[in-house]
Chains A and B, each alone.
Chain A
Amino acid sequence: MDVTVTLTVNGVARTVTTDPERPLLDVLREDLHLTGTKYGCGDGRCGACTVLMEGKPIRSCVTPVSLADKKGITTIEGLAEGRSLHPVQEAFLEEGAMQCGYCTSGMILSAVALLQNKPNPTDDEIVTAMNGNICRCNGYIKIKSAIRRAADKMRR
């Protein structure tokens, strides 16, 4: 039975009527055309589909859309304010922390969540927070540098 779900995505209220079990990821991509959130595994193990729900990072591929009802969701498309990028986005650009860039949305959102909690994370804290995000181009070194750079920016 389809249900109607109201969610606020990047500050905009959206209503979808759909199967309550459908993954939030699919609804974002297929129904709301927000394709910045990526499919990487569908079972919560790669982090490509990370979005923020009420500010917390979640794996949208294993989150039934019904759980997002009345919740605020931030996707990669909602991070920048107008033309001005979020400091984490800027830091990724400055460090060149992408190769193919497919993992990037999930990496950035996980990093945003990390830095909200821990504005000055240690290396270990970065590793722990980010370990669920896979980069198969294996750009981990530059991604770590980008997170440290973003932390510096955000403290300034």
Chain B
Amino acid sequence: MTEKLSTRNIAAEASKPSTATGEELTISRRTFVQTLGAGLLITVTDTLSWGQRRGGRGGGGGGSTPVVARLHLNEDGTISVMSGKVEEGQGARTELSQAAAEELRVPFERIRIVMADTDFVPDDGGTSGSRTTPYNVPPMRQAAATARELLTRFAAQQWQVEAGTLQVRDGTITHRATNRKLTYADLAKSKEIAEAFQQPIESDIALTAVSDWKVMGASIRRSNWRDLVTGAHLFPSDIVRPNMLYGRVLRPPSYRATLESIDLSAAKAMKDVVVVQEGEFVGFVAPSQFRATQALEAAAKTATWKTVKGPSSRTIHVYLKQRARMPAPAEKGFADAAKTLNATYTLAYIQHVPMETRAGIAQWNDGKLTVWAGVDNPPSAQRALAQMFDLPAERVRVIVPDMGGGFGGKHAAPAGQEAARLAKAVGRPVCVHWTRAEEFTWAYFRPAAVIECRGALDAEGKPVGWDFVNINAGGAAVDAPYNIPNKRVQSVGSDSPLAQGAYRCLAATGNNFARESFIDELAFAAGADPLEFRLAHLANDRIRAVLETVARHFNWSQRKKKVTPELGVGLACGTEKNSVVAACVEVGIDRKRGEIKVHEVCEAFECGPILNPANLTSQVQGCIIMSLGGALSEEIQFENGRILNANFGGYRVPRFRDVPKVDVHLVPKDDIPAAGGGETPIIAVAPAIGNAVFAATGVRLRSMPMRGEALRQA
């Protein structure tokens, strides 16, 4: 397959002072030369293309188009690529380097990637929603391919030969017939090269076909891999600045509580402690986290709060439903159906629980603010900080070292903001590293939800009506990928009493849980096998392919015959973010204790061409096991805005003991663009578990997490 991307354009400039560049393309030249050395900078934007003469003469263009990729030919033959993406364990660092290496025709090791430092990198839109692969890898490839092409043309011109007669391999352009060679390092030093970039350039350059991939498609490891096993890698929370202090912030006991009074005298009297009070914001800064915490605790004891009543985790679903604007039930397809079914599914609030809690380290220098933080959207964190301190954005620099997990939970940098506030007040760098209890309580939650399902079957057991409403969690994967003549799907808002936000795969997990469970209910009502029923009505061939694959590997038709009241099998499938997944599971049920134990998960996943098989396998395995938490045990308990289980004792995440046999089948599909793989594999497991429980016991569990207590038999 050949991919063409004609919408992007390119600009190149030498890393020397220049005056004629458009605003968006200007980077602090000093920073560049300091960090990257001299060389040739190539910039790809959405709509813009021009050349820039080295030394600042000529060139042109400018404007306000966002930059989508930057790369820099270094004089030592390495190539620096810059990306606003964040590495949080999902492989962006490696994938983007692979993309650049592939198209530049250089070994992977030649690529130096600079990530997530707002002083360098383009604003390419944060790291979430599986966007890196579909939206950031292509421009990176295109920037690299265009650079390669330009450099080849330049060599051809110099040598007065046809560009088509040149070969590019291993960072060297060769004209075989005359045995002439030119390396990227030569080009980075060349005085003439900038001339070649004088003209706007077509960047409609073919990307390397999947079948020709050498670096992409390989299981290459992260370049800073070794530092993770030696402890040398500095995560955001490991950053230490000279003279740095530690800060803690006073938190309300519950959501929406407001501070009535506090006595700060004890904290203020503590040695080396500085108390910062700005309205309701009260922070404690000290030379150690321990001392800052002592000060916080001394003050918190004296605080009185005005609290607000609210719902609890037991009443939340009624609460959300009462506050939702529910549509009237759909009628089409239902009136003359042979059978109709209704069911209500629910979802609890859950936390992302990244192993590294939020951290921010802030330092002020001459009115310029630098913040190191664990956040997956550095440019938006930068804008938020600029606004908070009323600064132009270029006075704020946000740096995100490869961080300890996010899963959709780190879209903002509250710890960075707190650190910046405290650092400003005390005039020294400050680190704010949230405790686990803070993370559990004050990081936003994956929304709780109520999902109302109605379905209708005709006399032959064919689905003829579908009415599906998600309350409060959102519309991701809300559609039913089945051929049903009368289908209505909808997502309606409500009034969440807790802060809620993105989560790995957003609402797709909940929507898929409800839909794939309810499809099973319809299959049962129709007297059909769950696999046959799906295959008969699926409207998506890619889903069909993974479903067939997984059923074959799991040996579905044989294993469903072996179902007993203590042993069930179930399956489910789904699609989101342009990738497809299907899973079969086996569960064991302890009816005495009321416990569900997942023995085995077999999952097939397809997300187009596979950029890095080892990384994708890790992502899929991780999603599968993570999904067991939401399916069976994870739930935020709360009452009147107070979080009651803000620790690993009360909030059960999957551990070694919970890991079932996991069998992953990656299905490559090379004739479509690559999609991300870090999210969708999470959505099929929970409904497959529920379906397996039903197959064994006849009991339908309709709440995530699914509690085994309902299955208990004396």
Q: A: which residues have CB within 8 A of B?
A: 18-19, 21-23, 26, 29-30, 33-43, 45-46, 48, 75-77, 79-80, 85, 89, 92-93, 96, 98-105, 108, 126-127, 130-142, 144
Contacts and interface: CB of A to CB of B under 8 A. Distances in A.
Nearest to A77: B231
A40 B436 contact: yes
B231 A41 contact: no
A34 B231 contact: yes
Nearest to A129: B656
Name the residue in B231, B436, B647, B649 with the highest tally of chain A Cβ atoms < 10 Å from its Cβ.
Answer: B231
A30 B288 contact: yes
A100 B403 contact: yes
A134 B237 CA distance: 18
Contacts of A100: 88-89, 354-356, 402-405
A139 B338 CA distance: 47
Contacts of B407: 136
A85 B405 contact: no
A131 B232 CA distance: 25
A132 B240 CA distance: 28
A133 B656 contact: yes
6 contacts: A30-B289, A41-B647, A45-B649, A98-B229, A99-B89, A99-B618
Contact of A93 (B225, B231, B354, B659): B225
Nearest to B90: A99
B417 to A, nearest CB: 20
A141 B662 contact: yes
A144 B621 CA distance: 13
A29 B623 CA distance: 31
Interface in B284-330: 288-291
A36 to B, nearest CB: 2
What 8 A-B pairs come out closest when comparing CB atoms?
A36-B231, A100-B89, A102-B404, A101-B228, A76-B231, A99-B89, A138-B625, A45-B648
Contacts of A30: 246, 288-289
Given A77-B231, A96-B221, A43 B355 contact: no
Contacts of A18: 288
Contact of A108 (B229, B403, B435, B436): B229
B614 interface: yes
B657 A131 contact: yes
B647 A45 contact: yes
A136 B656 contact: no
Interface centre among A29, A38, A92, A136 (most CB of B within 10 A): A136
A101 B622 contact: no
A140 B618 contact: no
A22 B288 contact: yes
A9 B189 CA distance: 48
A89 B229 contact: yes
B230 interface: yes
Contacts of A139: 618, 621-622
A52 B698 CA distance: 49
Nearest to A45: B648
A75 B231 contact: yes
B234 A136 contact: no
Give the interface centre of B225, B288, B614 by most chain A CB atoms within 10 Å.
B288
Contacts of B402: 100-101
A136 B225 contact: no
Contacts of B615: 96
A136 B355 contact: yes
B621 A138 contact: yes
Given A93-B226, A99-B90, A127 B657 contact: yes
Contacts of B90: 99
Contact of A104 (B228, B291, B647): B228
A38 B232 contact: no
Nearest to B625: A138
B375 interface: no
Nearest to B629: A138
Contacts of A131: 655-657
A48 B237 CA distance: 13
A43 B229 contact: no
Given A100-B402, A101-B89, A26 B289 contact: yes
A130 to B, nearest CB: 5
Nearest to A140: B659
Contacts of A108: 229
Nearest to B287: A30
B621 A85 contact: no
A36 B405 contact: no
B353 interface: yes
B450 to A, nearest CB: 27
B590 interface: no
Contacts of A126: 656
A85 B230 contact: yes
B345 interface: no
Contact of A96 (B232, B289, B618, B648): B618
Interface in B394-433: 402-405, 407, 433
Nearest to A108: B229
B355 A102 contact: yes
